[in-house]
Chains A and B, each alone.
Chain A
């Protein structure tokens, strides 16, 4: 039973990823702009163009090209970047940690802010405090992540420059990284100056990404908490002497988190999508920033690689959400 679930899940995943591969492969080729023309200086000879076109395989039919590419992909070969002249897999994997650190830091901020706001709003339900939570979250939600980014660049980069607004790390820091997870590695290896620098660089882009999600969590979790807080078992807890805050944290939270979790999972994939522009805004060396360069340069293999990786990431997150839903819900655990 369990094995069948896993297998069918795996199969859907493969079908999804294959679909994404087909779509992105076709889209980047029907989009205007010739990658070869962009590589050569103006006035290159017909011969040069033909030679380069053949080198990258663009002279073959679309179907042929696709099967050559996908044949490589299943063996872990995603082709070579046209502009950077390095294997796409190396390039993409080197950037992935930066985007992962930023996204999960943003998720952490969103859950922390949204969670606290939801608890406060639910604790003071029906009072002006709850109205303030509603109003603030509504306002925050109406501003998208990249506008928050612009706002932060202006406020803390230009008007009152207290935080770094570009890059991942202070370049003066000396540290031999084993991985590209600079914040995590700094923390784990006790180099708090490195971790501190990484987090202070991530703070504004992460906050830009986190604020809309935080507002959404505040609204949704508060609503779910309020629905749980009229259940009989919470009444019973109050009669037994637990304070309203204890009732919320001990009895209501896990029940309210369940329906919230599914939506937060979906929204988290949107947040990762948001990194593309926000990373650019803060010159943050992640996948999204690289994706924009790749699109500008018509670096088709690189675009394909990045999109596939994003798709795989989204699938993985959905699986994680399903898994934690099952773990949190005893009714599904022994099913």
Chain B
């Protein structure tokens, strides 16, 4: 809640133009260099939080209440151009699907260096050197050749590594990673997670890490926000979430996750009665 927070979201409400709420009274903070996982079932509103921060909400949705502070700057006080500038200077996105996140008709090099030269005002040489450096860092062999390639010449795992390199290139204080590994196969997933964690420590970036995989949560984050139907059910440290979950939904989510350590352990789906009960509680509150 201090002004030094990288990200501070207060009572954020996002609704559809029809009035239907997608996020209700969301609060969360992210301190510099911290990783916070956003977990919850599909449709809980995890991606919506990231989009509200980055200003990429779909046309049908809008922020209808609350505030977002990015490095102390209230985003709702800025006009569109200022906001775009503020977000570009402070945040970057690692998208979910590496296959659609690179422009198919442009080579890799400008897709990494253009933001650096045109938005961050770097020299071409500096941007080029930084891109090569980061590509090496994400374990891409022959980065000079990859820079000259088109996206269709590269594998999905390589493209996601390139997108990670591009996100970290300007050393942003905040990165939103929206399920960055779900589109990749399991062996690649682990490498990608490792890279994100290493780079995050190196650059000192705070990460808002969207996932529905509690196994990933345990590996990467220090804090966790558990979402259900656009609301934060529980906000705690990762350790507390796993050792002492207070909300029954959190317990059910953990129980529903197959364990990395012990894949043979049986897991149970979130009980339907619990979901029904939470839904009726949310409906009763009516404080959207």
Q: Say whether A241 contacts B104, CB under 8 Å.
A: no
Q: Say whether A233 contacts B103, CB under 8 Å.
A: yes
A136 within 8 A of B: no
B207 within 8 A of A: no
Q: Say whether B54 contacts A239, CB under 8 Å.
A: yes
Partner of B88, one of A126, A231, A241, A250: A241
Q: Say whether A232 contacts B100, CB under 8 Å.
A: yes
Q: Say whether B91 contacts A239, CB under 8 Å.
A: yes
Instruction: Kindly count the residue-residue contacts between A and B in the assembled complex, taking CB atoms under 8 Å apart.
Output: 66
A29 within 8 A of B: no
B56 within 8 A of A: yes
A2 to chain B minimum Cβ distance, whole angstroms, is: 19
Q: Say whether A236 contacts B85, CB under 8 Å.
A: no
A332 to chain B minimum Cβ distance, whole angstroms, is: 10
Total B residues in contact with A, Cβ cutoff 8 Å: 31
Q: Say whether B100 contacts A126, CB under 8 Å.
A: no
Q: Say whether B91 contacts A233, CB under 8 Å.
A: no
Which residues of the partner chain B approach A328 to less than 8 Å between Cβ atoms?
A: 105
B81 to chain A minimum Cβ distance, whole angstroms, is: 7
Partner of B150, one of A240, A242, A331: A331
A180 within 8 A of B: no
Which residues of the partner chain A approach B119 to less than 8 Å between Cβ atoms?
A: 240-242
Q: Say whether B101 contacts A233, CB under 8 Å.
A: yes
Known: A232-B97, A236-B95, A240-B119. A330 touches B104 (CB 8 A): yes
A208 to chain B minimum Cβ distance, whole angstroms, is: 34
Q: Say whether B103 contacts A238, CB under 8 Å.
A: no
Q: Say whether B103 contacts A240, CB under 8 Å.
A: no
Total A residues in contact with B, Cβ cutoff 8 Å: 22
Which residues of the partner chain B approach A329 to less than 8 Å between Cβ atoms?
A: 105
Q: Which of B230-245 contact A (CB under 8 A)?
A: none
A124 within 8 A of B: no
A325 to chain B minimum Cβ distance, whole angstroms, is: 12
Q: Say whether B84 contacts A241, CB under 8 Å.
A: yes
Q: Say whether A239 contacts B93, CB under 8 Å.
A: yes
A243 within 8 A of B: yes
Partner of B100, one of A231, A254, A258, A330: A231
Q: Which of A42-100 contact B (CB under 8 A)?
A: none
B59 within 8 A of A: yes
Binary per-residue interface labels of chain A (289-323) against chain B in the complex, 1 for a CB within 8 Å, 0 otherwise: 00000000000000000000000000000000000
- Given A240-B119, A251-B103, 12 more pairs with CB closer than 8 A: A232-B95, A232-B97, A232-B101, A233-B101, A238-B55, A240-B88, A240-B92, A242-B119, A255-B105, A258-B105, A331-B104, A331-B152
The 4 closest A-B pairs by CB, nearest first: A241-B88, A241-B119, A240-B115, A232-B101
Show 19 residue pairs from A and B whose CB-CB distance is below 8 angstroms, ordered by the A residue: A232-B97, A232-B100, A233-B102, A233-B111, A235-B56, A236-B95, A236-B163, A238-B55, A239-B55, A241-B84, A241-B88, A241-B115, A241-B119, A242-B115, A255-B104, A328-B105, A329-B105, A330-B105, A331-B150
Binding site for A on B (CB under 8 A): 54-56, 59, 81, 84-85, 87-89, 91-93, 95, 97, 100-106, 111, 114-115, 118-119, 150, 152-153, 163
